[in-house]
Amino acid sequence: LKKIFIIFIFFLAIPILADINHIFIFMKNKILTSNFCDYRNDHFHTGIDLAALDEDIIVPNDSEVVFFNIKRKNSINYGNGNFVILQDNKNNYRFNFSHLKDDSFDNKKIVYSRGDKIAVSGNTGHSSGSHLHLEIEDIKNKLLLNPLTFLNIEDTRRPRLIDIYFITEDNKKISITDPRNYKIEKNGKLFIKCMDYVNNSEYALVPYKITVYIDGKKTSSLMFDHLTSNLNNFVLNDGRDFSSLYINNEKNDFFISNFFSLPGLIGFKVEIEDFSGNILVYKKNLIVEYKKENEDAKIK
Ligand SMILES: [Zn+2]
C-alpha cells in the first residue's frame, strides 16, 4: 500500500512541477507598464513591458542564444536596441529580451541554464525609459504568447469600465453606460472602453478577456491569449488584426462586434476579466425598437 501511495504522490507531483516551471521571476523589481496586444499606432504590442532600472534579467529555462543585436557606438537609436533571443529547445519557446543596457550582455556565451543572469535592463533603441520588452514565442505552434502566462504579477484589482457604446448606422454615438440611454433604435457597432490595473502600477493595461452576453447567451468574446502571424500581419484567435480591433485608433477602446437584435427587451451583460481572474460585470436591460422609416413614408 505504501508503494502505491508513493507512486500516487509521484504522479500528482509531475503536473504541479511542470506548472511551476512556467511561472518565473525574470527580474526582481519590475512594474508592468504595457500589456500584450496594447495599441501601438499601427500595430499590436507583441509582448509586455516591465519598467526596471538596472535590474538583472534571469533566464527562465535552459536555452541557447539564437540571435542577438548589439548596438554599435554612435549608431541611431531605433527598434529594439540591444536585444537577445533565447531558444528553449525542450519546450519550443523562444524568449526575446529587448532594450538591454549597453555592454550588459556577453556576446560570446551561447548556452544558458535556468536561473542564469543574461543581461541588465536598459533604455536602448526606441524606448522612453529603462524597461524590458519581453516577447515569448511558441515556435512549434507559431504563436506569440501572452507573456503573463509565464510571470507572476500580483493583481487583486478589478478591471475598470469607462464606457460601453454603440455607433449606429447613421453615425450617432449612444453610450449605454449613460443611465438616460436604454433604447436602441438602429443597428450599429458595439465598442467597449476599458482597462485593467495591477497592484503597484497605475498604467492602463489591456485586460485579458471581454465577453458580451445577450439574454444569458454569449454573443461575442475577445481574448488576448496569443497572436498568430498571418501574411506578415498579426491576428487574434478570432482572426482579427490590429486595424479591425482598434478601429477608433484609440488605446483601450475595443471594437467588439456589429450589433443586430430582434426587437424587444434584452438582458445585456458584459464581463471584463484580467489575467488573474478578477472580473468586472456590467448589466443593463435594453429595449430594442427599430423605427419603421419605410412604413412612415408609405403613410405619407
Ligand atoms: Zn514593449
Which amino acid would we find at residue 237? N
Q: Which residues pair with 111 in a beta bridge?
A: 64
Q: Pick from 79, 37, 47: which is nearest to 244 by CA?
A: 37
Cα 59 to averaged position of ligand 1 atoms, centre (Å): 18
Are 262 and 274 spatial neighbours (Cβ–Cβ below 8 Å)? no
Q: How many other C-beta atoms are found inside a 10 Å radius of the C-beta of residue 141?
A: 10
**pLDDT tier for residue 70 given thresholds of 50, 70 and 90:** confident
Cα 202 to averaged position of ligand 1 atoms, centre (Å): 17
Q: What is the CA radius of gyration of the chain?
A: 24
Of 16 and 260, the structure prediction assigns the larger pLDDT to 260
Report the distance separating Cα 193 and Cα 272, nearest Å: 10
Cα 295 to averaged position of ligand 1 atoms, centre (Å): 55
Cα 161 to averaged position of ligand 1 atoms, centre (Å): 24
Cα 4 to averaged position of ligand 1 atoms, centre (Å): 49
Average pLDDT, stretch 240-253? Answer: 96
Q: How many other C-beta atoms are found inside a 10 Å radius of the C-beta of residue 13?
A: 10
Cα 166 to averaged position of ligand 1 atoms, centre (Å): 31
Q: What's the chain's average pLDDT?
A: 89
**Phi and psi angles of residue 150, each rounded to the nearest 5 degrees, phi first:** -105, -5
Question: Distance of CA 152 to CAs 21, 147, 149, 155, 191, Å?
Answer: 12, 10, 8, 9, 30
According to the model, what pLDDT value does residue 16 have?
45
**pLDDT tier for residue 132 given thresholds of 50, 70 and 90:** very high
Cα 195 to averaged position of ligand 1 atoms, centre (Å): 17
Report the distance separating Cα 122 and Cα 68, nearest Å: 15
Grid-cell match 533603441, residue found: 125
Cα 62 to averaged position of ligand 1 atoms, centre (Å): 24
**Whether the predicted pLDDT of 4 surpasses 70:** no
Pairing status of strand 143-145 against strand 226-230:
antiparallel
**Phi and psi angles of residue 4, each rounded to the nearest 5 degrees, phi first:** -60, -40
**Whether the predicted pLDDT of 292 surpasses 50:** yes
**Whether the predicted pLDDT of 72 surpasses 80:** no
Identify the sign of the CA torsion 230, 235, 240, 242. negative
Report the distance separating Cα 165 and Cα 109, nearest Å: 53
Question: How open is the CA angle 253-256-259, to the nearest 5 degrees?
Answer: 130
According to the model, what pLDDT value does residue 299 have?
47
Report the distance separating Cα 190 and Cα 192, nearest Å: 7
Cα 133 to averaged position of ligand 1 atoms, centre (Å): 4
According to the model, what pLDDT value does residue 290 have?
86
Q: How many other C-beta atoms are found inside a 10 Å radius of the C-beta of residue 235?
A: 18
Q: Is 70 exposed, middle or buried (0-12, 13-18, 19+ CB in 10 A)?
A: middle
- Per-residue pLDDT tens over the stretch 161-206: 999 999 999 999 999 999 999 999 999 999 999 999 999 999 999 9
Cα 134 to averaged position of ligand 1 atoms, centre (Å): 7
Cα 97 to averaged position of ligand 1 atoms, centre (Å): 10
Q: Is 97 exposed, middle or buried (0-12, 13-18, 19+ CB in 10 A)?
A: buried
Are 196 and 209 spatial neighbours (Cβ–Cβ below 8 Å)? no
**pLDDT tier for residue 55 given thresholds of 50, 70 and 90:** very high
- Per-residue pLDDT tens over the stretch 137-155: 999 999 999 999 999 899 9
Of 289 and 18, the structure prediction assigns the larger pLDDT to 289
Report the distance separating Cα 269 and Cα 285, nearest Å: 9
According to the model, what pLDDT value does residue 250 have?
97
Cα 121 to averaged position of ligand 1 atoms, centre (Å): 12
DSSP 187: -
Are 50 and 132 spatial neighbours (Cβ–Cβ below 8 Å)? yes
Report the distance separating Cα 225 and Cα 231, nearest Å: 20
According to the model, what pLDDT value does residue 138 have?
95
121 Rama sector, left if φ>0, alpha if ψ -120 to 50, beta otherwise:
beta
